[in-house]
Structure 1
């Protein structure tokens, strides 16, 4: 895995290789010069897909997940990008799509991917969410009931843990537990219901998610790129281990950004949600600048 300060793949040679664009007044600069150059180069592509995780990326983590909201600077940048020519904005999250829409208040035209890819929909010009059809088979629904019951038993044995119910998964949350206690609970979910036949278990940031459909953020990002109908350049940013599948499908001309200190395959890294908001703000300025691209 790359060191936090190591960058690779498509890194421009110097800051002078990309055209200068003014930064918006009052916005912190992009602290990583290599990332700043990559963003300016990325902004030149004819077609862009800007796909972003929500929690720990646009929205800081909070004790109650229902209180999570994107930073105002991030929301403003997404509004600018979504309104720009030939730019598709997408939010790719483990949350259910309808919950993601409610918490993120995405701009019109945003494509929402929820439950790690199991649910998808688009926000129209009026703010209405149009969901693609999704349903479980009878066998999957029965398996989900079994998984949910087993995860519920684990949560009951660890006071402070709780279960999130998704259309195709049950999620054990341990935020707020002591680290060693949380690790035991999450491991128990992986080796218990997470080992059942025809389920897929994912260990994330203080969560274990057990799904009855095989999905990933990487497959979702690939499908989004294909949906645009052209070989779009993709920027993906995320903080969690579940985001690594999306970062891993990026290629030449794409930009992958890891938020936070965890190990990653991403080319670039920012320390926190505020730094990502600043990077998105600069990207929006460089994309929408009246100067010739």
Structure 2
């Protein structure tokens, strides 16, 4: 059975005839077209569904109408519910640092202003961003990135965070220049054990670019995928950690950061479809306002 034919029959049965249905249907269609398609439905079923004049459903027509009426009668309400769901449901992808440090407070503030708001969160990697957005797994993604994105996506830069070394509080150096003077060998290598994320990480890639530009060699001795683990290993004396200076994040006890101004910073962006839903546009405005406040924070902490 053709679903459109069933829809036309629903309106004919509901309004008591083809002429009345044409006048009352939510979209324009000519009476001869309705008659022809109803005849096709009857031919496919091999039965007569209603008496034309005076209008009356046959037993077969009554059976069909009883079965399809619940579905077609609920379509207007269903469309409204779907639109309402879309207007109050934000699917957000973000890197672990953003999920941990920045989104909880922002989301609570947004939910307080719009109690029906529902936010689905997903930890996302840089190479997953485009696919998740195009497939509508996420409405918007926030995180550190390198490189460009395909045309359907729009990229808004939020902030740039400097690279840094994470060191124990009693580490003898306080600046990158002092680290170079004290620990750089003649061949350009550094004699400090380095604790860093995997090589595909955005921060590690940016860090490696800086080393190459400066003619330095620094091999990773401990590779871990979580910055909390990097922090723990630095605390336990396994070496110095790769890090970034995150505005508004307080220092962890026993550790401090040494910024590396000679290296290019990491770019943190929001990526979304070029025609964003209203809720995405609202979130983006709130996010940019939050980032603006962060930029005014003078105290930088440890990641």
**Greater gyration radius:** 2
TM-score interval, smaller chain = under 0.3
State TM-score, norm by structure 2.
0.26
Looking at secondary structure, tell me which structure has more helix per residue.
2
Q: Which has the higher contact order (CA 8 A, sep 6+)?
A: 1
